[in-house]
Amino acid sequence: MNSNYKDLFLGIRQYDSNLSNETLKRLIEIAHTAPNNKNYPGYQNTDLFELGEISIDLLERDFVECVKDYFKFSDDKCPNTSGAGMRMWFHQDWKYNPRTLGNYWHDHHDSNYYGMSGVMYLSLPDTSHTTGFSLDAKRECLDTFETVPNMQYLPRLINTWFLFPNWMPHLPGKNETEERRICVSADFWFC
């Protein structure tokens, strides 16, 4: 179990990834070639489980180990993690991203408030921003682009998981460089 974590703010926890450099490099390659899903805001790729890649399987296991630690599940008490209660995708942004308007306040709860969301940056250009959170982010701010008072941002770290409750509103950071900011996003919920 991955128990190497740091508590940040608002219940957000930072976990070291256990993925090898080779796996991380392969994930970046996949992100550059995976098709954009036009049904989702921003530049998001299809559900990563559909790609059938060993590196995606390793990524899933890495995320699930962090979720299990966050909730303090032992292996024999953990809910089903076969994919039915999970989804993973790449969220990418760059200066000339044709779908940059997808970077607005949102949450991931859909119809289930009992879950965990996570993000891990695979690439983070020098002048790009990380995901922001605020206690002042009320339901009314969802689907808007503006920051609110008391913004707090995730640390500028790559290959590190940041886990937070799936109902928590958050604002993806902007990236005005030509280099892609590539983020893995993941959800785990209790069926």
**Cα angle: 54, vertex 88, 96; to 5 degrees:** 105
* Beta carbons of 25 and 66 less than 8 angstroms apart: no
pLDDT one-digit tens code per residue, 138-160: 777 777 778 888 999 999 999 99
CA atoms within 13 A on the CB side of 48: 25
Tell me the range of 6-10, 67-71, 72-76, 133-137 where mean pLDDT is highest.
Answer: 6-10
DSSP for the chain reads: ----EEE-STT-EEEE----HHHHHHHHHHHHHSPB-TTSSSEEBPPGGGG--HHHHHHHHHHHHHHHHHHT--GGGPPP-SSTTEEEEEEEE-TT-TTGGG-S-B-S-TT--SEEEEEEEEE--TT----EE-TT--GGGTT-----TT-EE--S-BSEEEEEETT--BBPPP--SSSPEEEEEEEEE--
Q: What percent of the chain has pLDDT over 90?
A: 47
Total residue length of the chain:
191
pLDDT one-digit tens code per residue, 38-88: 877 778 887 888 888 999 999 999 999 999 899 888 766 665 555 448 889
Reference 188, options 93, 42, 65, 104; nearest CA is 65
Q: Cα separation of 175 and 7, whole Å?
A: 26
Residue type, 105: W
Residue 6: count of CB within 10 angstroms of its CB: 11
- Show the domains of the chain with their CATH numbers: 5-189 (2.60.120.620)
Task: Tell me the two tokens of residue 7.
Answer: 């508590």
pLDDT one-digit tens code per residue, 99-109: 766 667 778 87
Q: Which residues of 152-172 are buried (b: 16+ CB within 10 A; e: fewer)?
A: ebbeeeebbbbbbbbeebbbb
